[in-house]
Amino acid sequence: MEIIPAIDLIEGRCVRLTQGDYAQTKVYDAQPLDVALRYADCGVRRLHIVDLDGAKAKAPCNLRTLERIAAATNLDIEWGGGIKSDEAVREAIDAGAARVICGSVAVDNRELFARWLRQYGASRIILGADIREGKVATHGWLKDGGVGVEELVEAFLPDGLAQLICTDISRDGMLQGPNIELYVGLQRRFPTVDVTLSGGVSTMADLERARCNGVRAAIVGKAIYEGRITLKEIEQWLLNE
């Protein structure tokens, strides 16, 4: 199972929200590049970056930070936040994103998202589905998209969908453990799609439980910043993989 550390950006700084609430923002590091370099040094291969300013503005806002991290590391960067247009996808890829995460647009404009899957390939386009009480939330988790994650995945299988990041909003930033059953169920239902767990990881034991249940990848954010999971522990995990 792959561990994917997360960097959430507001005004170029590393932050974490609690349950997606911008009013509950905590700044952890003013230098995202330094954080990314520390991840790369411990053997991490993939990095999850969310442009929270971009999510609000409906267009990427922190591409300079992406450019700096991509230029200074060999990390496989997945980038999300404000990806709602052809221009935004191109800008993110040109700035160094290996993969682009698309959330609200996949609900609001299915035809456009399907075209991106076909145009850029399933290896570059990720479906981001943030769920609350079984329904996908959109527009920075402020709106109910009126669709379940399973229905959304089903809609894009004919277009080659192969990557899903599913965030359980109720667990995000809470450090209370992830909803393993959710991800196990999604992975079993969609074996051709790589399902990434997001939300609630608090300890290495959470990651071990996820791996033992067949979860293929997990995003870890606040647990690292709060010292509940150390870079040394991640390095040891990766050495044993």
Q: Could you say which of 8, 168, 172, 206 is catalytic?
A: 8
Give 92: exposed, middle or buried? Use CB within 10 Å, 0-12, 13-18, 19+: buried
CB 73 within 8 A of CB 101: no
Clarify whether 8 is annotated catalytic: yes
Respond yes or no: is residue 130 known to be catalytic. Answer: yes
Report the chain's C-alpha Rg in angstroms: 16
Residue (of 125, 116, 129, 141) closest to 55 by Cα position: 141
Marked catalytic residue, from 51, 130, 172, 206: 130
Residues 6+ apart with CB under 8 A from 168: 131, 178, 179, 182, 198, 199, 200
β partners of residue 51: 9
Tokens of 65: 């930070």
Catalytic positions, please? Answer: 8, 130
